[in-house]
Structure 1
């Protein structure tokens, strides 16, 4: 299991959060990705004829490309590990960007043909402080992409380890119902403070430290146009019997009434498991429908693309149990995501008793 070749980029910047590897010539990424409406990356990564996309994140990464003579040994140092087939039309690959096309030759694989990639990821220790110049940002993540020769037809993709569930937690919808500026103070408490919460003075100091201006909590809101059919902050406040918020400070008792924050008389603390907005407020039916649809997109889009990738590489005949094992997911997540993929016309699903499924990729439903 020796390393035959390697390339390392110590400061690779993912474009739009996507790490891209392409063959230096002859790849079919555009044809593969535009043939259906699935997300191009999925939860961790997808591959095709001469391309690999991975969830590179927001910051710079260290990326290692390695050619091996066989599958690498299992290694528990990684947070996420998945394997995908890779059909190389040129026998040479390189790191590149999302919009720049094929780049230079960084790793010579050998003869054109089928290879397999094990992509392994883990976060790096955070920097103690942010630099003034973005070019000096320290890498936030390490990716190691191991290539080795494989047979054709290839075994479909397999997810070996995940640091979180492929189906995201349900979004309670408060950001959509209240809006950005009305949720900003709650976000400060949740993400800008400690687990012990923040006092009003802490929140006001955060505003001063982050250039919100003096007396941030007593500033009035920017004028915004009401969204047709959606409740205004005044209407929401009336439903939970608190005063209409006119300045940011007034939002704090509203958050408590909506069960977004708690207050012990001194400190505000974010609630981890927030109730859904539709369960707290009386919302119009059209708003509830919109919230349900938006929640489904956030929860299932990535994992549905993983399932499309399995089918793309020949894995159309499955059981619920085999898909759960292959994708490191629960059987319940598989069933719910297959129904989402059916509804969004990503996959045609033929259900067989007791738990078999035949899956076919739906063609793209919108012009490209």
Structure 2
């Protein structure tokens, strides 16, 4: 639904559009410019094009020349975009996570969309074309409802864009490192752990006693190191999962999620597999925050490293390992105290 000239208590807005059953594609909230014949020229910075870099949508959201991507899960989301003519007030306590970012609209009209399609549903006039400041607020939906609630507020901000800045974080900026057990034990064994630990996961009667699919299976060497026999059925995989620390046995036939060590710490793995597990652990920890850095670097072109901790709202000690990962993953290039975003390599 959209409305022009709407008023909410204490705030006058030019208009809004909202969707309380927005279904993200690939876990991403997408807002794009709506095509008009009288488009402004692009900003001339190829790094700000949609999908111009290899970065994902960030810990909360990132934006560029005609697009905004928000990181969501698979459930339906409630999304509202408000157009303002000046910066609206924000109550930090009402939201879990908040980021402000530049956004360039060539048409002055936006709409919700999907990663692999265009826009759909109601359109919102921003009241102008050109550069805007956009505030993205996110919080979990109320108990009993799925997904997140999003409030996106925009206002004109002509001139030199101010770098993206994260105003509040409740959810972790650096994610827990992936311990790598799926690479070691294989999908079908890990699926058995989900049977016990994911609420609502349904499987046919007798599923646990069916033969474990042949590929991929844990090696005999891995099983020996964990002190269990190689599994032949899915039920046989339970002792393996307990030994790995992926599930915990309460002694009464019930299992809960464990807190496993990284597989490379618990096992002596072949060098190539160990390297993949360790690399994936770093990637899972920093990939979303690295997208935030890429967004800052693209808009600042380049960004100063000394500014990053304050802009990202993370501790200073986070920056060095974050930049190491981002450079290794070809998201950024480091210079003399600066970082520059790198374009997506051609296919």
* Structure 1 residue 217 displacement after superposition: 2.8
Cα deviation per residue 1:25-51 (whole Å; 9 max; x = unaligned)? 248699713443222x12221111111
Does 2:21 align with 1:21? Answer: no
User: In structure 2, what is the Cα distance between the partners aligned to 1:183 and 1:77?
Assistant: 38
Aligned pairs for 1:231-250 (under 5 A) are 232=219, 234-250=220-236
User: Structure 1 residues 100 and 36 mapped into 2: Cα distance closer, same or farther (>3 Å)?
Assistant: closer
Cα distance in 1 between the residues matched to 2:178 and 2:158: 42
Q: 2:189 aligned with 1:182, yes or no?
A: yes
Task: Give the Cα separation in 2 of the matches to 1:186 and 1:91.
Answer: 49
1:7 aligns with 2:7: no
Say which of 99, 109, 125 aligns to 2:126: 109
- Alignment CA distance shift 1:331-1:272 (3 Å): farther
Name which of 58, 66, 82 aligns with 1:42.
Answer: 58
Q: CA deviation at 1:270?
A: 3.7
Match for residue 276 of structure 1? Answer: 262
Evaluate the alpha carbon distance shift between residue 246 and residue 20 of structure 1 in structure 2; reply closer, same or farther with a 3 A threshold. Answer: same
- Give the corresponding residue for 1:348: 333
Provide the rounded CA distance (Å) in 1 between the counterparts of 2:29 and 2:254. 39
How far apart are the structure 2 equivalents of 1:172 and 1:78? 31
CA distance in 1, matches of 2:95, 2:216: 47
Distance 2:75 2:47 in 1: 25
Unaligned runs of 5+ in 2: 1-10
Question: SS at the partner of 2:300?
Answer: coil
Aligned partner of 2:3 in structure 1 is: none
Q: Tell me the equivalent position of 1:121.
A: 138
Alpha-carbon contact 1:126-1:140 (below 8 Å) kept: no
CA 1:161–1:77 in structure 2 vs 1: closer, same or farther (change >3 Å)? same
Aligned positions of 1:74-93 closer than 5 A: 74-75=90-91, 76-93=93-110
2: CA distance, partners of 1:358 / 1:45: 22
Give the paired residue count. 329
* Cα 1:166/1:308, change in 2 over 3 Å: same
Structure 1 counterpart SS, 2:94: coil
Q: 3-state SS of the aligned residue for 1:93?
A: strand
**When the two structures are superposed, what TM-score results if normalisation uses the length of structure 2?**
0.86
Cα drift, residue 145 of structure 1: 0.9
Across the aligned residues of Structure 1 and Structure 2, the Cα RMSD in angstroms comes to 2.5
> CA separation in 2, counterparts of 1:225 and 1:52?
38
SS at match of 2:272: helix
Specify the alignment match of 2:75 in structure 1.
59
Q: TM-score, normalized by length of structure 1?
A: 0.81
Deviation at 1:111, TM superposition (A): 2.5
Please name the residue that 1:130 is paired with.
Answer: none
Aligned-partner SS, 1:235:
helix
1:218 paired residue number: 209
Unaligned runs of 5+ in 1: 128-137, 194-205, 352-356
Hey, what's the Cα distance between the residues in 2 that align with 1:43 and 1:106? 26
